[in-house]
A and B are shown apart, each in its own frame.
Chain A
């Protein structure tokens, strides 16, 4: 069973920041938070992941609350090409090759 809860859908104006929340209140100490996105029928694409510190890369920023029970993915300047389903996934590392378990993601629509 997925261990995360995300809004079903969100809209964002082009050029504005998109903030996608995720609740993972039962996350364990050795579980990382991963974000993937899937653009219509394409293979899911890795975005970013983190354990407890905030992370940033060329695609996005990940803000994890201090208690680690929730996180927010930030796309700083959303474009039309960012329209996709975004999945927040918790995953254990270091204890084998654990698969990603996809739950119900957030369908982000970027509007011109």
Chain B
């Protein structure tokens, strides 16, 4: 079965550069969630989208922005990168809960290293 696809899997950027992470949800899933997991930390919710509209907002820095496109894929844009942004970034997708019970499935993550 198709899973959540994230690209790239690894990314190295320098401080103050920008980065774009991409997430392709499971087919027919309309909701995308982004998470950040620092070294030794638990996943922290950043932001989510449902039907191309922002749904919930967590601890996403102002330097980050995200959107969901018409084909339901999502991109997380990160600007003015800092060393502390080095982390694993996970994307998850699900069907909207208003459509019934559903669990969220996670991708394998993008490992971002800021040097």
Contacts and interface: CB of A to CB of B under 8 A. Distances in A.
Interface residues on A, range: 20 to 34
Contacts of A42: 108-109
* Chain B interface size, under 10 / 10 to 19 / 20 to 34 / 35 or more: 20 to 34
A21 interface: no
Contacts of A102: 35, 42-45
B27 interface: no
Contact of B109 (A32, A43, A94, A97): A43
A79 B109 CA distance: 25
Given A43-B4, A46-B104, A100 B109 contact: no
Contacts of B90: 43-44
B44 to A, nearest CB: 7
16 contacts: A32-B101, A34-B103, A42-B109, A44-B90, A85-B42, A93-B97, A93-B101, A96-B97, A97-B55, A97-B56, A99-B45, A99-B56, A99-B104, A100-B92, A102-B45, A104-B42
Interface of B: 4, 31, 33, 35, 42-45, 48, 50, 55-56, 58, 88, 90, 92, 94, 96-98, 101, 103-109
Interface of A: 32, 34, 38, 41-46, 49, 85, 87, 93-105
